[in-house]
Chains A and B, each alone.
Chain A
Amino acid sequence: MSERLEVLKTYKLYVGGKFPRSESGRVYAVTDSKGRTLANAPRGSRKDARDAVVAARKAFPGWSGATAYNRGQILYRIAEMLEGRREQFATEVAAAEGVNRTRALAAVDAAVDRWVWYAGWTDKLAQVAGGANPVAGPFANWSTPEPTGVVAVIASQRSSLLGLTGAVAPVIATGNTAVVLAAGASALPALSFAEVLAVSDLPGGVVNILTGHPAEIAPTLASHQDVNAIDLTGVAPDAGVASARDLEIAAADNLKRVLRPGPKEPDWTADPGTARMLAFTETRTVWHPTGH
């Protein structure tokens, strides 16, 4: 009997709940930390970014209008689905980041736990960041955090699954929709992670994942007039892509909220707190007359 041929996966983008190839038809070789080719990933184009924003915008009313409880259930479901694929992701993370298996497995477990953590936050953030305001008049007055809209996320290029989770979960937990650019080490684990999202009851378009060259796609997302906020975390000063400053200038055109990158890669294992969730919410205050 002849030897069995291995069936290799064709990595594809995740846009609007579907897995299309790049409209440009291009791919690029993703390498591991030692420069060996791992696989070809789709090389997203400006038009892919545009399509992803359209999908994210379309998904926004449904996702932001869903109850916080329902969003929490879905985020928890993502954790469940990820847990079931621990082994697969440990292998992918180890290959992508060039770490040993123990550390990779720890990163996957931390990512699962992080999804559970954010699932719990969906119906609690309003109590922490909002509240009833005492006012001098016959009014009930509340402040409540509302989602910003479509958020572009330039994901960490080093911490693949945990960094991706740390950036995307807080964005969608509060009801935003996301267009994620996963480059560098993140590309392949991010596209595999899309398979988890696709089976977690997450409505199509809430998270869209693009891979490719940040220098090509990030400026398009930063200047896109229908993107409401951008997370530049993956644009580290030494990341060798279009500088965060240029992207921030492009983002100023339609007054996007910008989450600036820190001086170095964030510690994704640390307690993230509420900072990232609050970065992409806007406080809305409601006045309501009291009395008879």
Chain B
Amino acid sequence: MPSAILADPAEVTSSEAALRRFLHGLPGVDRVGTEARAAMLATRSIKTDAKVAAIDLAIRMIDLTTLEGADTPGKVRSLCAKALHPDPGAPDTPRPAAICVYGDLVAEAKAALGDFGVHVAAVATAFPSGRASLDVKLADVAYAVAAGADEIDMVIDRGAFLAGRYRDVFDEIVAVKAACARGEAAGGGSAHLKVILETGELSTYDNVRRASWLAMLAGADFIKTSTGKVAVNATLPVTLVMLQAVRDFREATGRQVGVKPAGGIRTTKDAMKYLVLVNETVGSDWLDPDWFRLGASSLLNDLLMQRQKLATGRYSGPDYVTVD
């Protein structure tokens, strides 16, 4: 069925009209059914051994994020130190996948993280609004990549998307993807591109599905829900729609794309709900930091406190984790 949706990727992106025909031809999202399914999966209980494994997996999936106007090099360094040693009292604690910062702090983060395998992700393209000229956005990306960013979190132009100028959004993602390429001097290759849909501004699940396909067709390595800067951030139903999209996209094209909910995920319980959603929607292929990430900051402390509880049998408290 999904392969019927997408007979020829090159054809559907060949023109504005073809792209619109394809995106509007996607099956509509059953809002009630999607919300009911997400709510039902959220009631699953994860206990004992499974909980221990899930907490460690969730920690490994975190993009530990600080995206404030008040970010200082010192704050970024302390966040990096936390990523390298999340719980000094429990050296077996896994490390989060990446640190997520603004582009100008990439070099600082890169230096602080060393070669321990924790990536540096940079938000770019006039994050969070995306309201800047294409040249400025591409310069933003190139700067972060040159500074050593392993991953780029770009925002789509929601204004263009909502106005129906899908081709503009598509071309912009393609251009940013090209800007993610590292020079030969930097070892070649390309920074991973995460495309932020900002689902809180897309109004409908149908739009979320269309934006997901649009981003994937344009070459996104990851699709991400939100910037964390608007009223509505990641929700379970939106993530469910995006997971369905990456599942169908892989079936149609053979290429696997990752998903990253971000914003508002604060507790271990929230994280468990997302893991259940992944497992039940796309299966264990995505249960890996390479394919699923959680954009969060305070979540890590809650996971660490739960981890301490499971290890010692005593409830822990904020005195036993860092103040971020």
A residues whose Cβ falls under 8 Å from a Cβ of B: 49-50, 53, 57, 220, 223-227, 253
Contact = CB atoms under 8 A, between A and B. Distances in A.
Nearest to B317: A226
Given A225-B315, A225-B319, A253-B314, 8 more contacts: A50-B315, A53-B317, A223-B314, A224-B317, A225-B316, A225-B320, A226-B315, A226-B318
Contacts of A253: 314
Main secondary structure of the interface of B (DSSP, over half): loop
Contacts of B314: 223-225, 253
B89 to A, nearest CB: 11
A220 B315 contact: yes
Nearest to B316: A225
Interface of B: 308, 313-320
A288 to B, nearest CB: 27
A9 B260 CA distance: 46
Contacts of B313: 223
A223 B312 CA distance: 10
Contact of B318 (A57, A223, A224): A57
B30 to A, nearest CB: 31
Nearest to A150: B317
B315 A53 contact: yes
A53 B305 CA distance: 14
Contacts of B316: 225-226
A224 to B, nearest CB: 5
26 contacts: A49-B315, A50-B315, A53-B315, A53-B317, A57-B317, A57-B318, A220-B315, A223-B313, A223-B314, A223-B315, A224-B314, A224-B315, A224-B317, A225-B308, A225-B314, A225-B315, A225-B317, A225-B319, A225-B320, A226-B315, A226-B316, A226-B317, A226-B318, A226-B319, A227-B317, A253-B314
A226 B315 CA distance: 8
B170 to A, nearest CB: 46
Contacts of A220: 315
Contacts of B318: 57, 226
A220 B319 CA distance: 17
Closest 10 CB pairs of A and B: A226-B317, A223-B314, A224-B315, A225-B317, A225-B316, A50-B315, A225-B314, A225-B320, A225-B315, A224-B314
Nearest to A220: B315
Most buried by A among B314, B315, B318, B319: B315
A53 B315 CA distance: 10
A253 B314 CA distance: 10
A223 B316 CA distance: 9
A225 B306 CA distance: 12
A45 to B, nearest CB: 12
Contacts of A224: 314-315, 317
A220 B317 CA distance: 13
